[in-house]
Structure 1
Amino acid sequence: MYSLKNDKLEIAVTKIGVELCKIQSVKNNLDFMWDANPEIWGSYAPNLFPIIGVLKAGSYIFDNETYKLPKHGFIRHNDAIELDKKTSDSLVFKLKYNKNLLKIYPFKFEFLISYKLIDNKIEITHTVNNIDNKPLYFSLGGHPAFKCPVYNDESYNDYVLEFESVENSKTHLINMENDLLSSRTKPTLNNTNLLPLSHDLFNDDALIFKDLKSRRVSLKSSTHGEILSVEYNDFNYLGIWAKPNGDYVCIEPWLGTTDHEETNQDFTTKEGIIELGSGNTFNASYSIEINNTHLL
């Protein structure tokens, strides 16, 4: 495990998959991350690259060839990602293409992810370098799971997500039989900026939003106020998810989404896919800010 600490927060990152696995107050030891209980959901904050979610039939087509990728791509559970640089307030990790990865993802790339601790905030930055002689296609995103409830005197239903803007937005429903996006939608935010949390909210899997005006959402307790906020200016999709029996909530900034049932599996036209030209670099960041009132 790798760690960073300042006078307010201590954070830690796993070696396998370089997941953010700890956000803890230095002064009162209050924890804000889910504990990855394997009986419910054994992850903390998977890093998603080069796809979000699942592929139809587990595969995609590029240049008339068919390739297979696991759910959320190959950063998650990967033990080959190396620490590239460490400073007093940051950790930078890197994965470069190799012979085995080219068999499932035929692009020469460098993927870097950095965690920077700034006062009461963690900034997570993704960098993709195209070192191939052809365009590179990818999606990426975050999947951080936050403890909910945070305090022992609360229940899950004491919490809401508060969006920075009043929203009129629908969630795009997943077919639970194949984990693919269906054409069905459900009105979810109806002229409001509040989404009350309850375990049955996730009976039909993740809430997937494609048209939010907000680029900041806060986890709020009815008894303890705002706990934390996630700001995601570089991301145009947002997933909200938990296992129905899990005491956590994932706030997931995405660039891209899981495959649609009707996709033709052409990777270059996959919804949300990013095309990066040869020799170019792409960056996208989101941040997690812990409200100072919980760090005293």
Structure 2
Amino acid sequence: MHVLQNTKLKIAVKSIGAELCEIASVKHKTAFMWDANPEVWSSYAPNLFPIIGALKNNTYLFEDKTYRLPKHGFVRHNKKIKLKEQTENSLTFSLIYNSESLKNYPFKFEFTLTYLLIDNKLSLIHQITNRDDKTMYFSLGGHPAFKCPVFKNEKYDDYFLEFEYPENSKNHLINTESGLISSHTAPFFNASNTVDLTHDLFQNDALIFKDLKSKKVRLKSIKSGEILSLSYHDFPYLGIWAKPEGDFVCIEPWLGIADYENTNQDFKSKEGILTLPVKETFKACYTIEVHNNHLV
């Protein structure tokens, strides 16, 4: 476990998977992250690379060869990711390709994730470096789970998400049996910018949006006001998810998306896949900001 702390916030990151597992107020000890109750969902904030969501049959094709990857890729639960550097306000972790990774992902890469804590803001800075002699293909994303309710006098239904702008995006539906994206969509926003949180909202898995105008979403309570916000300017897709019985909500910025049911499984043509030229580095960041009202 690795810890960063300033006068306002304390964060903790697990060694396995470099997974953020705590954001808490220094003064009040208030916890803002889900507690990973194993009876409901045993994760806090998995890091997603080199895919988002599920692949059809857990496999993909690259240059006429078949490879296997688990849902959300191989960074989460990974014991080989190492702490590369620690400063007064940052932790940097690194995962480098090896002979095992090349069997399932045929690219020589370095995955680097920096947690930067400044005042009441935590930035997650991702860097992907292509160490190969060919173009690299990948997706990248976050999966942080925030506690709802945060305070004892509240219930889950007191919480809602507020987006920067009125939205008209559709929800891209998931086939709950396969975990793949179906060809169907459902109306969701109607020139509105709020999503009321209820446990039955996630009966059919995650809400998936491709074309939101907003690049910031706030988690709010009708009793406690704004709790925190997540800014995701570098990420074109957004997922919102929780276990129906879980007192949390995941706000998931993605560069990529799960396979569609009708996919041909070709990795190069997969929707949302990113390309990275030889020896170049890609960078993407999202930021969690805890409202000062709950810290002072």
With the shorter chain as reference, the TM-score category is over 0.9
Give the TM-score of the pair, scaled to structure 2: 1.00
Q: Distance in 1 between matches of 2:155 and 2:222?
A: 10
1:13 alignment counterpart: 13
Aligned counterpart, 1:200? 200
The aligned counterpart of 1:191 is 191
Q: Deviations over 1:65-88 (max 9, x none)?
A: 000000100001000000000000
The equivalent of 2:90 in structure 1 is 90
Q: CA deviation at 1:53?
A: 0.4
The equivalent of 2:278 in structure 1 is 278
Q: Hey, what does 1:78 align to over in structure 2? A: 78
The match for 2:45 is 45
1:220 aligns with 2:220: yes
Distance 1:35 1:187 in 2: 32
1:2 aligns with 2:2: yes
Structure 1 residue aligned with 2:158 = 158
Q: CA deviation at 1:32?
A: 0.1
Separation in 2, partners of 1:252, 1:11 = 19
Question: Where does residue 144 of structure 2 map in the other structure?
Answer: 144
The corresponding residue for 2:30 is: 30
CA distance in 2, matches of 1:8, 1:119: 7
Secondary structure of 2:220's aligned partner: strand
Q: Deviations over 1:240-264 (max 9, x none)?
A: 0000000000000000011000110
Q: Which residue is equivalent to 2:253?
A: 253
Percent identity (aligned)? 62
Residue ranges of structure 2 left out of the alignment (5+ in a row): none
Q: What secondary structure sits across from 2:168 in the alignment?
A: strand
**In structure 1, how many angstroms separate the alpha carbons of the residues matched to 2:211 and 2:172?**
11
- Runs of 4+ with deviation above 4 angstroms: none
Aligned match of 2:111: 111
Aligned residues: 296
Q: Distance in 2 between matches of 1:62 and 1:149?
A: 44
Q: Flag structure 1 segments of 5+ consecutive residues without an equivalent.
A: none
Instruction: State the Cα distance separating 1:103 from its structure 2 match.
Output: 0.2
**Structure 2 partner of 1:292:** 292
Task: Please tell me the residue identity of whatever aligns with 2:243.
Answer: K
Give deviations 1:94-131, integer Å, cap 9, x for gaps: 00000000000000000000100010000001100001
